[in-house]
Structure formats: C-alpha cells, structure tokens
Amino acid sequence: MQKNLLQLCYEGECGENYIRSMNEKGQLFVSLSDVLKTLSAENRKLDGKTSQSLITVLKAVIKTLDPDEFRNVPLIVDGETISETFLTEPGLYRVLAQDTTAAGKKFQRWLFHSVLPSIREFGVYPPPPKQERSELSAFANSLQQTVQALVMEIERREELESRVNQVELKVNSLESLRDLSKFRSVPQRLLELELEGYSVEEIWQWCEKLRSETGAEKIKCPSGININTCYPLALVDEAITLYQKVIEARIRP
C-alpha cells in the first residue's frame, strides 16, 4: 500500500504541509492525522492558539465517524508497521465541517476546489501542465478518428464482401442451368463405374493436375467442397486410369 500513496502539498501560512492520500478507482482517501496536523499548524500560525494533543484529537474525531467513512491502512514507518486512519470523502466532509476557523475554511477551499477536481479528471494533483493536457486531447482526438476510419473500412469491406457473394450466387445460378451431361465429379464417376473403393481425394488431385496442364474447364461446387468439383468426363476417366497405374505400382513386388 505504501507505494500507492500520493503526497498532496498544501502551501499554507506556515509553509508546505504534505498530506498522504490514496486514489483507488476514483475514490480519494486522505490521512486523518496529516489533515489534523495541517489544520493544527495553520490555526496556531493564524490565531496563536496552543493545539491539543494529536492523539487525543484523533480519538475524538474517529468517534464521530461512521464505519464507512474511514479505513485503517497498514503503513511502514521507520521500519515498523503501523495502522493509519484514512478518510473517505464523506468522512473528510464530516471532519472539516467541525473546523470553522479561517485556516479550516482556507484548507477546505483548497481541497474541494483544487485537489478533488484535479484527481477526478487527471488522477493526480497538481494537474498536468496545459501543454500535456493539449497533447493528451490531441492524442484522444487522433485515436477517435482512427477508430472511426477503421469502422468505416470494416463497413466498406463487409459491403464489398456482400456484393461478391451476390455475384457468386448469380454465377452459380447460371452454371446450374448449363448442360452438365459431359461433366462429372470424382464421386459421381466412381459411383457410375462401381469403383467406390478408390480414393476420391487422390483422384481429385490427379484431376487438378491434368486440368492445370491442359487448361480444361472445371465447374466448382456451389457449397465449396473441392472433391465435388466437376471436370470434363474424359479428364476424370484419365485421372482414374492414372490412379489405377499408381495403385498397381504400389502392390507390384
């Protein structure tokens, strides 16, 4: 928890006072003892009043808080682990409402008008320089433009893909009207020749080889299944013959 502490520097009448705080998921926690030390020092500087014992004040203040208005956090101080009370924002309001002195009002204004808005917007106090904020804003705008361009590109590609699919459907529809009596797929031809035991995959590969060598036409299957591609009948028969020769060569002693 120690490494997550933020040091808030309050510049008051008696110089700089550092107040430990934590920022967890946008929720600010502030060290109760640091707040009381700062208010005590500021009141002593402005009014010249002697402050009460800090431990006595701490105990009295904690009694006024509801359980959800503070958290006891283990911290390592001078090599020892101690329990430190940190206030939530509601707890901080309750504590500061009890101090109506000039020092208390000045401290409240600094906390509520400067510290909390900065932490809520930037996660740190003091806020980053305006130049850095401008750069962050420019980066955010650039990122948004990039995302918008990406969305438009995705929509354009989806529209193009839809058009391509429509063209393919039209082509397949036209091909379905052709006279396919002189074309066969490998499974069809093997079934006609009662050669169902032959390897459809190997014969289809022979068909592809012969087609690439001869430039023969082929008709793709609308479902996209390669082995159901139709080739000229003579080419399929030649592929079967080549396959048979390969089989004979395999079993030849």
% residues pLDDT > 90 (the chain): 27
Instruction: Give the residues across from 27 on adjacent strands.
Output: 24
Give phi and psi for 218, each to the nearest 5.
-140, 155
Asked whether 93 and 35 are in contact (CB, 8 A), the reply is no
Tens of pLDDT along 75-125?
888 888 888 999 999 998 888 887 778 888 888 888 888 888 888 887 788
Tens of pLDDT along 189-222?
999 999 989 999 999 999 999 999 999 999 888 7
Cis peptide before 126 (omega within 30 of 0): yes
What's the pLDDT at 245?
92
Cα–Cα distance measured from residue 172 to residue 169, given in angstroms and rounded to the nearest whole number: 5
What's the pLDDT at 198?
93
What's the pLDDT at 169?
61
Type of residue found at 3 = K
Instruction: Give the residues across from 8 on adjacent strands.
Output: 19
DSSP state of 219: B
What's the pLDDT at 185?
94
Beta pairing, strands 15-24 & 6-12? antiparallel
Tens of pLDDT along 127-168?
877 665 566 777 777 778 888 888 888 888 888 887 877 766
Tens of pLDDT along 30-68?
999 898 888 888 887 766 655 555 566 777 888 888 989
Whether residue 71 is predicted with pLDDT greater than 80 in this model: the reply is yes
What's the pLDDT at 50?
52
DSSP state of 111: I
